[in-house]
Amino acid sequence: MKRIILDMDGVIVDWMRGIHKAMGWNYVPENETSWTFYKNHGVTIKDLEEKCSHGFWCRLPWMPDGVEIFNLLEALYGKENIYLVSHQLTPTNFGGTSGKQSWVLKEIGSDYINRLFVTTASKSIFACDKDCILVDDRPENCDEFIAAGGSAILVPAYHNKNRDWCNQRVDFIEERLKYGIK
């Protein structure tokens, strides 16, 4: 039985759009080619954390194709085999945990609240075997998950090597799930 470990931020939740808005920055997705984008604005991760309260996290929008990605995974594997796993921005960003819980309750429903894990640990701790599939937009997370024995799909994003597929993310994920993960 396959289990899906689904990252939230950057896959189904539009954290980049939200943080740009919170910081008062113009957001052009194609220009954000690194997760350390904030350094280009002369701020630190601590500066971002100050904006990332419970209210910030629970009001984030879906990614433009986030609902479609979520529905695809649920249709293929069933809700009982989908686990939401998300990093806190920093170990002291406690509003991130409660805000993400509120987002899940509001946007997805109570069926998923007991399958939400917000952590500062590596997502590789969830890699039990090849049938455990991480769906994530960060190359480092996918590499660690595979090294720990799981499988991974690197979701297209402008900050990773699959950027050419950003306008076809649902098809990209579906093809890899149906025809083999590479």
Amino acid 182: pLDDT: 54
Higher pLDDT, 83 or 90: 83
Closest of 139, 161, 152 to residue 181, by C-alpha: 152
How many structural domains does the chain have?
A: 1
DSSP alpha helix (H) spans, the chain? 15-23, 45-51, 54-58, 66-77, 94-107, 139-147, 169-179
Query: What is the spatial distance between Cα 98 and Cα 111, in angstroms, rounded to a whole number?
Result: 16
Give, rounded to a whole angstrom, the gap between the first and last alpha carbons of the chain.
19
Two tokens, residue 131:
């049938």
Amino acid 138: pLDDT: 96
50 to 55, 59, 120: CA distances (angstroms): 12, 16, 17
Q: Give the tens place of pLDDT for each residue, 12-50.
A: 999 999 999 999 999 999 998 888 889 989 999 999 988
CATH number of the domain bearing residue 172: 3.40.50.1000
Q: How do beta strands 132-136 and 116-119 pair? A: unpaired
Q: CA geometry: angle at 19 spanning 15 and 21, to 5°?
A: 120
Neighbours of 157 (CB within 10 A): 24
Sheet bearing 82-87, strands edge to edge? 116-119, 82-87, 3-7, 132-136, 151-154
Evaluate if residue 73 carries a pLDDT over 60: yes
Q: In which domain, by residue range, is 124 found?
A: 3-179
Q: What's the average model confidence in pLDDT over 147-174?
A: 97
Q: What percent of the chain has pLDDT over 70?
A: 99
